[in-house]
A = this chain, B = another copy of it.
Amino acid sequence: MSPVSFENIRNAGKRIRPYIHRTPVLTCATLDRITGASLYFKCENFQRAGAFKYRGACNAVFSLPNSKAELGVATHSSGNHAGALARAAAIRGIPAFVVMPENAPPVKVAAVQGYGAEITFCKPTLEARESALNAVVMETGATFIHPYDNPLVIAGQGTAALELITESGNLNIVMAPVGGGGLLSGTAISTRALLPGALLFGAEPEQADDAFRSFKGRVFVPSVDPNTMADGLLTSLGKLTFPLILRFVDDIFTVSEEGIKNAMMLIWERMKIVVEPSSAVPLAAILEHPEPFQDKRVGIVLSGGNADLNNLPWKGA
C-alpha cells in the first residue's frame, strides 16, 4: 500500500490553500516551436520562499496538533527546504530549528535567518548533521520534518501537479526533476489519479544520476559525490520515495550540464522568468531526448527560482 494516497494530496491542498500562492501555469510559443511539443509550466519559482518545497513544509507544519506544534519543527538542510520550513513555521507562529553545515553559502544562511529560524552550525558531514539534529530535537522537543522522506511532505509536493493538471486539462506527459524524490513522488501520485493514461517522467543531471541508476537497476543506489549546477538535486532517494518512483514513474531521463545551462537560459530569455538550475532539468531532458515529446501536451513543474544572481552558470557580464 502506498504511504501517500491521492486523498492525502487533496487534503493537503485544502490544508495549505490559505498559506500558499496558487502559482500560474505559463506557456511559451517559442519553446513550443523549439521542442515540437506543447509545454505547460507550473511556476513554483513564484511560490512562497521561492520553491515548491513550501508546499510540503506547510502541509507538515499545519498538520501538527497544537501540543506538538508549540515545541517547534526541526530539519537539517542547506537548501530550499530549510527556508520553506522556517517560513511555514513563522506563519504558524512556532519555532523552527535548522541544522546547517558551517560552509553553507552565506546567502542561504541569511535567507533562513530572515525567516526567523534558529540555526545550529555543524561540520559538513552527514554524520555531523544527523547528530546535531538529534541533539536539537532532544533538547527542544521539536518535530523533525524530513526534506522529502515524509508522507506529509510528499503529499504537499503533490499539490503542485494537482493544480497543474486541474488547470491544463488533458496532458499526455507530466515531468518533474528528481533529487530526493519528494516532488516526483507527489507528482506521480496526482498524475496517476487524475490522468491514468499519461506518462510520468523524471529528469536528473547526468552528474547526479543516482535516481536514474536506482530506477533502471531497481536497486537503491546512493548519490556519491554528485557534481552538478542543479544544487537542488544532489540528494539520494529515500525509503519512501524510491518505492513510489519504482511503482509510478514510467522513465527517468538524464541531461548534461551544458544542457541544463542552455535550458535555463532559454527559460530566462524566452519566458522572462527567473528559475534555478534544477528547474531547467526537465526542459533540458526534452531538448536532449526530443523523440517521446513530439506533438505531445507536456506538463512540467518548474521547481524553484532561488538562483544566485552573482553566481550564474554562464558568464553574465
Contact = CB atoms under 8 A, between A and B. Distances in A.
Interface in A287-317: 305, 309-317
Interface string A266-277: 001100111100
A315 B305 contact: no
Given A312-B317, A313-B317, A317-B315, A272 B269 contact: no
A314 B305 contact: no
B50 A305 contact: no
Interface string A254-292: 000000000001001100111100000000000000000
A151 B305 CA distance: 40
Contacts of A312: 309, 316-317
A313 B317 CA distance: 7
Contact of A309 (B305, B310, B314): B314
A52 interface: no
A41 to B, nearest CB: 13
A29 to B, nearest CB: 9
A268 B272 contact: no
Per assembly, the copies of the chain total 2
Contact of A269 (B265, B269, B309): B309
Contacts of A316: 309-312, 314-317
B305 A310 contact: no
A97 interface: no
Interface string A102-120: 0000000000000000000
A24 interface: yes
A148 interface: no
A315 to B, nearest CB: 5
A50 B272 contact: yes
Given A315-B316, A316-B315, A317-B312, A272 B272 contact: no
A40 interface: no
A88 to B, nearest CB: 15
B314 A272 contact: no
B305 A272 contact: yes
A41 B29 CA distance: 23
A46 interface: yes
Contacts of A315: 310, 316-317
A24 B317 CA distance: 29
A241 interface: no
Interface in A178-214: none
Contacts of A309: 265, 268-269, 312, 314, 316
24 contacts: A24-B24, A45-B272, A50-B272, A265-B309, A269-B274, A269-B309, A272-B273, A272-B274, A272-B275, A273-B273, A273-B274, A274-B274, A309-B312, A310-B315, A310-B316, A310-B317, A312-B316, A312-B317, A313-B317, A314-B316, A315-B316, A315-B317, A316-B316, A316-B317
Q: Which 8 A-B pairs have the closest CB atoms?
A: A316-B316, A272-B305, A272-B274, A312-B316, A312-B317, A45-B272, A316-B317, A268-B274
